[in-house]
């Protein structure tokens, strides 16, 4: 990558981190990136493609916990850049540890997905696998990282000491459309721990969140507590959500989807809020 054009936009520290990332990736030789289409994996994939060219592929795991809009965005990102993109269909619901939704749910999901990524990498003559966790992910409860370690998946963004803010700033300088994309996690993260995950419930949450997005709430979560939908939006958006016109429309749509009660979290949106139940 010709990083000279970034000098005016990026600090010396960010340039050093970017250079370290490039050198680390170059040393791998070939790479299969577990690609969700989010901010982190999009940045990793873009840098890897500039460094390795055709020796990098993107692999996206698709199942009921991944909204169709996310798959389409991932496909477009790769198509626009000429990156080989493979979508593998996985079924984490067939795994009891995932379906029963204990605190280690993400371990079973990540293990299943990267087991498939490993097969695809081998079939395509790719030496290494990589995922997009960054330094900020080290401070939260992330059982999926255990599966990453067990399967020898590389974490280049952590190796380069990149934070989420670093990644957004460099992504913007690179002109990546994902630089300002809201944080996203799979739909299974909307379930309170211990509540069984089913395809029907995942579909309910997907449609509920899509309805909020269509009404201009781009940073949102619909958390499931039994038959209760707990809506999280940023604090600044709570008043608009609670306005009569939108509130009534949301209530009616959520009832159609099968929710018995619909609530607004007065604290506002918080990434990973379900993990609070573990403490």
Could you give the percent of the chain with pLDDT greater than 70?
Answer: 93
Band (pLDDT 50/70/90 cuts) for residue 30 is very high
Band (pLDDT 50/70/90 cuts) for residue 142 is confident
Band (pLDDT 50/70/90 cuts) for residue 154 is very high
Provide the residue ranges of all domains of the chain, joining segments of one domain with +. Answer: 3-174, 187-278
The pair of three-digit structure tokens given for residue 187, joined into one six-digit string? 């739909």
| Span 29-40, average pLDDT | 97
| Span 172-178, average pLDDT | 96
Band (pLDDT 50/70/90 cuts) for residue 46 is very high
| Span 42-54, average pLDDT | 98
Q: How much is the pLDDT for 112?
A: 93
pLDDT in tens, 247-259: 999 999 999 999 9
Band (pLDDT 50/70/90 cuts) for residue 184 is confident
pLDDT in tens, 50-103: 999 999 999 999 999 999 999 999 999 999 999 999 999 999 999 999 999 999
Q: How much is the pLDDT for 9?
A: 78
* Distant-in-sequence, close-in-space partners of 233: CB < 8 Å, separation ≥ 6: 212, 217, 219, 220, 241, 264, 268, 269
pLDDT at residue 34 above 90? yes
Q: How much is the pLDDT for 39?
A: 97
pLDDT at residue 143 above 90? no
- Tell me what the pLDDT averaged over the chain comes to: 93
Name the CATH architecture for the domain at 3-174.
3-Layer(aba) Sandwich (3.40)
Q: How much is the pLDDT for 55?
A: 98
The pair of three-digit structure tokens given for residue 153, joined into one six-digit string? 């998946």
The pair of three-digit structure tokens given for residue 219, joined into one six-digit string? 């940073």
The pair of three-digit structure tokens given for residue 111, joined into one six-digit string? 């293990």
Could you give the percent of the chain with pLDDT greater than 90?
Answer: 87
SS percent in the chain: helix, strand, coil, step 5: 55, 15, 30
pLDDT at residue 141 above 80? no
Please give the backbone phi and psi of residue 229, each rounded to the nearest 5 degrees, phi first: -100, 120
Q: How much is the pLDDT for 274?
A: 58
Q: Which CATH class is domain 187-278?
A: alpha beta
N-to-C CA span, the chain:
44
- H helical segments located in 59-198: 68-81, 96-99, 105-123, 144-150, 156-159, 164-174
Asked if residues 270 and 233 have their Cβ atoms less than 8 Å apart, the reply is no
């Amino acid at each position: 990558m010709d990083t000279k054009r970034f000098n005016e936009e990026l600090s010396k520290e960010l340039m050093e981190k970017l250079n370290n990332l490039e050198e680390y990736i170059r040393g791998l030789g070939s790479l299969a990136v577990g690609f969700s289409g989010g901010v982190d994996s999009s940045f990793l994939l873009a840098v890897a493609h500039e460094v390795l060219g055709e020796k990098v592929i993107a692999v996206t795991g698709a199942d009921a916990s991944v909204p169709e809009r996310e798959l389409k965005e991932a496909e477009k990102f790769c198509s626009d850049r000429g990156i080989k993109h493979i979508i593998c269909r996985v079924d984490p619901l067939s795994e009891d540890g995932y379906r029963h939704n204990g605190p280690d749910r993400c371990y079973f999901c990540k293990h299943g997905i990267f087991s498939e990524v490993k097969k695809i990498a081998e079939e395509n003559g790719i030496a290494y696998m990589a995922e997009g966790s960054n330094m900020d992910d080290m401070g939260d409860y992330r059982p999926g990282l255990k599966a990453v370690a067990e399967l020898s998946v590389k974490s280049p963004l952590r190796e380069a000491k990149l934070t989420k803010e670093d990644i957004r700033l460099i992504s913007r300088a690179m002109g990546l459309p994902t630089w300002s994309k809201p944080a996203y996690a799979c739909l299974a993260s909307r379930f309170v721990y211990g509540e069984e995950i089913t395809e029907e419930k995942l579909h309910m949450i997907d449609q509920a969140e899509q309805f909020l997005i269509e009404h201009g709430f781009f940073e949102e979560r619909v958390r499931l507590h039994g038959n209760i939908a707990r809506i999280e939006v940023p604090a600044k958006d709570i008043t608009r959500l609670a306005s009569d016109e939108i509130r009534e429309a949301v209530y009616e749509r959520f009832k159609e989807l099968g929710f018995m009660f619909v609530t607004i979290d007065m604290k506002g949106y918080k990434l990973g809020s379900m993990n609070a139940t573990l403490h």
